[in-house]
Amino acid sequence: MDIVLLTLEYNNIEIIERGVFNNLKYLEKLYLNGNNISSIEKGSFQGLPRLQLLSIHVNNIPHIEKGIFQDLPSLKELYLYRNNISSIEEGSFYGLPRLEKLTLEYNKIEKVESGMFRGLTNLQKLYLNGNNISSIEQGSFESLYRLQLLSLHRNSISHFSKEIFQGLRSLKELYLYRNTISSIEQGSFEDLSRLKILTFEHNKIEKVERGTFQSLTNLQKLYLNGNNISSIEQGSFQGLYRLQQLSLHINNISHIEKGIFQDLPILKKLYLYRNNISNIDQGSFQSLHRLQMLTLVHNKIEKVERGTFQGLNNLQQLYLNGNNISSIEQGSFQGLPRLQQLYLQNNSIQKYEDGAFFFLPSIAGINLENNDRMVCGCHLPAFVRHIKKVYSRTVDVKGTCEEAPGKLIPILKYSQCQNYSLFQRNLQCQTCSKMICNDLDVTRCPGSMPVCRFALSKNGVTLKTEKSCSSYRKCVQTMRDNTAACDKWPSGTTCTGCCFGNLCNKNDFVGWTKSFVFHLTFKQFNDYKIPTVNISRAMQQELLHVTAIFRVEYCG
């Protein structure tokens, strides 16, 4: 007979006898799942030289004997999940040189023994999840040269030696979540340079040590959520140059230190929600230039400081809801030119300063719901009108504010702002006209006079620009302090310039395209005075790489 497909699932078959399929030499797929099969005799699958798929899942098979599959040289897929398998004899899968997929999940296997999968040199996917595995012998996976997916989640694994995964050089996905793993040995992933997905969520890991993942140079997704992690060492993510998603939510992290994410140049998603984070070092995220989503929901953050999100040039979604934030300062979200959605609901925000949302030219939505004690202000409604006028875009602002004691109104309905200008003195780009650049004339301007501050930083060969408002006196002092470093401008240095007079168009404050003057000052160290002309030339040379019009002046 030329039958290629035979389905016998969900009957009452209890035993498969020897030679029952002898005449089905063209059969390619055989479904026996959902029966009461408890015994498979040797020779049961004789006469099936072309069989590619064998499904025996959801039965009562307690034991896999050596040789029962030896008559299936063409088999590619073998489904044995949801049986009562507790033991597998060594050599049980001999004679399956073409097998690509083996499913043994949700059985009663307690131990993976050396040699259990010997001979499966073409196997690509192995599912062992949902068993009672607590022990994996060294050499258990040694012959699985082509294995790409190994699923060991939902077992009782508390520890594995660093030799367990040796030889799995083709592995791309490793699932270890929902075990009881408390530590990871250095060198455990030495042969897994092709791994793309690694899941450790819901284990008992307390600490991520330096160099743990350094061999995983192609890893794209790392899940460490649902553990007891309270500490992340500097260099913990060393080697993860291609990581795009990092999940650290539902842990006990209380502090984000500057530099712990510095080895993740193309990270796009970072999950940190439901930790105990109360403090974030300034510049903690500054190396994550490609990050698109950052979740800090349900932590203990009380304040968003200026510069917290510095460097997140591509961030599109920022989740800060469910914290203890009480106020938002001017420039809190500075450096987020592509941010589209900002979530601040369910905090304790009572006020926001003028300029709090000013540095968000791409914003489309701000959620401030359930901050019921927040006092109404003029800045946010004026900012929304500005975005509508300049960019022809509507910003969706959700939430209410307190117009008078006990009286809540929608934030954008606040009407006591007739004389309010978004570009007030504290946000304008202006200072004393006809300024002569020397110390005497600097003192003629009030120290509180606002100017536009233009910071140019260098990291390697990469130049980065940032714009902010500052007082004239502070800006000039910053220029003075940076003068020595800016002479040769080594990597890691920031040079500051101040934007004066008509060169800064206040209506173009969001996204400047005008020209700038760098007024370079010098500082004398003992008897050595830095030649300002050299500083001027050095900055001119570096600014050649920036798309803008610059004129560099110096004074002395």
Q: Is residue 406 part of a domain?
A: yes
How many CB atoms are located within 10 Å of the residue 149 CB?
17
Clarify whether residues 456 and 348 are in a common domain. Answer: no
Q: How confident is the model at residue 430 (pLDDT cuts 50, 70, 90)?
A: very low
343 and 372, same domain (yes or no): yes
Burial class (CB in 10 A: 0-12, 13-18, 19+), 549: exposed
Same domain for 418 and 443: no
Local confidence band at 372 (pLDDT 50, 70, 90 cut-offs): confident
Dihedral sign (CA 464, 467, 468, 471): positive
- Read off the pLDDT of each residue in 52-59 and give the average, rounded to a whole number: 98
CA dihedral (138, 142, 148, 149) in degrees, to 10, reads -30
**Residues 449 and 398 occupy one common structural domain:** no
Tell me the residue type at 551.
R
State the Cα–Cα distance between residues 414 and 420, nearest whole angstrom. Answer: 12
Q: Which of 154-163, 437-446, 452-461, 473-482 has the highest mean pLDDT?
A: 154-163
Question: Same domain for 395 and 499?
Answer: no
The DSSP-derived string for 74-122 is T--EEE--SS---EE-TTTTTT-TT--EEE--SS---EE-TTTTTT-TT
Question: Hey, what are 399's tokens?
Answer: 């939430």
Q: Which of 144-148, 327-331, 367-371 has the lowest mean pLDDT?
A: 327-331
Same domain, 454 and 507: yes
Count of other CB atoms within 10 angstroms of residue 138: 13
Compare 101 and 434 and report the one with higher pLDDT. Answer: 101
Residue 322 maps to a domain: yes
- 141-155, 317-331, 436-450, 526-540: the lowest-pLDDT one: 436-450
Res 306: pLDDT: 83
Burial letters 242-278, b for 16+ CB under 10 A, else e: ebbbbbbbbbebebbeeebbbbbeebbbbbbbbbebe
Please state, as a whole number, how many other Cβ atoms lie within 10 Å of the Cβ of residue 8.
Answer: 14
Query: Residue 451: pLDDT band by 50, 70, 90 thresholds?
Result: low
Asked whether residue 253 is assigned to any structural domain, the reply reads no
- The predicted pLDDT at position 354 comes to 80
Indicate the residue among 387, 422, 457 that finishes a domain: 422
pLDDT of residue 476: 59
**Placement of tokens 């997140």 in the chain:** 312
With 60 as the cut, is the pLDDT of residue 440 above it? Answer: no
Range of 342's domain?
A: 301-422
Residue 373, pLDDT score: 87
Supply the pLDDT for residue 274: 98
Q: How many CA atoms lie within 13 A of 67 on its CB side?
A: 4
At residue 351, φ and ψ (nearest 5 deg) are -160, 160
Mean per-residue pLDDT over the chain, rounded: 83
Q: Among residues 359, 391, 422, which one ends one of the domains?
A: 422
- Quote the number of domains for the chain: 2
Would the pLDDT of 141 be above 70? yes
Name the least confident of 67-81, 241-255, 426-440, 481-495.
426-440
* pLDDT value, residue 389: 87
Picking from 373, 397, 422, the residue at the C-terminal end of a domain is 422
| Residue 369 within any structural domain of the chain | yes
pLDDT tens per residue, range 454-508: 677 767 666 666 666 666 556 656 665 665 556 556 677 777 766 544 334 333 3
DSSP 503-543: GS-GGG-SS--S-EEEEE---EETTEE--HHHHHHHHHHHH
The secondary structure element, H or E, covering residue 386 is helix 379-391
* Cβ-contact 476, 498 below 8 angstroms: yes
Measured CA to CA, the distance from residue 302 to residue 168 in angstroms comes to 46
> Does residue 484 sit within a domain?
yes
Contact 491, 526 (CB under 8 A): no
66 lies in some domain: no
Q: Are 32 and 59 a contacting pair, CB within 8 Å?
A: yes
With respect to residue 187, please indicate whether it lies within any of the assigned structural domains. Answer: no
**Structure-model confidence comparison of residues 292 and 94, the more confident one:** 292
CATH number reported for the structural domain that contains residue 389 in this entry? 3.80.10.10
| In a shared domain, residues 337 and 411 | yes
Domain match, 310 and 394 both: yes
pLDDT digits (tens, 9 = 90+) for 166-190: 999 999 999 999 999 999 988 999 9
Q: 528 and 445, same structural domain?
A: yes
Same domain, 306 and 413: yes
What residue type is 141 in one-letter code?
F
Residue 246 has pLDDT above 60, yes or no: yes
Asked whether 195 and 216 are in contact (CB, 8 A), the reply is yes
**What's the pLDDT band for 28 if we cut at 50, 70, 90?**
very high
Is residue 433 domain-resident?
A: no
Average pLDDT over residues 321-329: 94
